[in-house]
Amino acid sequence: MIQEKGKILDMKLQKVLSVLVILLLFGVESMHAVAQDGNAEAGAQKNAMCQGCHGIPGFRTAYPTVYTVPKLGGQNALYLANALRAYKSGGRTHPGMRAIASALSDQDIADLAAYYSENKKIIVSTEKGTE
């Protein structure tokens, strides 16, 4: 009986491991894709539709659940680009960001990632937020 359980656990572990390997392969793949150079100045022209949410300190969206909007300024460019690609591809499932990222080209993503990574103090409001 105990041995049976052990076998089932082994099988589960194998499944988990193979999923992890697949995720890893995809992760490495998307890192390669990010080699594209972003232009921060171009990104500054494209961020108007992001500021409505990401520029407000402590801003929370109400739909579909209460979400705190992450701060983007000063974040690593590779991380930002990978996050946007994940929303675009469906790897990340937040509906609002999915809709937004699906409208972005690879160049838009690279430019926006460059812009946000180079601008640590994007939030200009003096209002106190959680960030």
List interacting residues with ligand HEC (CB under 6 A).
Answer: 49-50, 52-54, 61, 67, 69-70, 72, 80, 83-84, 92, 94, 96-97, 100, 112
Find the shortest distance in angstroms from Cβ 36 to ligand HEC.
15
Q: Which is nearer to ligand HEC, 39 or 67 (CB)?
A: 67
* Residue 90, Cβ density class (10 Å: 0-12 exposed, 13-18 middle, ≥19 buried): exposed
Q: Which two tokens stand for residue 20?
A: 């992890």
**Rounded Cα distance, 108 and 50, in Å:** 12
Q: Report whether 111 contacts 46 (CB < 8 A).
A: yes
Which residue has its beta carbon closest to ligand HEC? Answer: 50
- Shortest Å, Cβ 27 to ligand HEC: 15
Of 18 and 105, which CB lies nearer to ligand HEC in the complex structure? Answer: 105
Strands annotated E in 62-113: 67-68
- Whichever of 50 and 114 has its CB closer to ligand HEC, that residue is 50
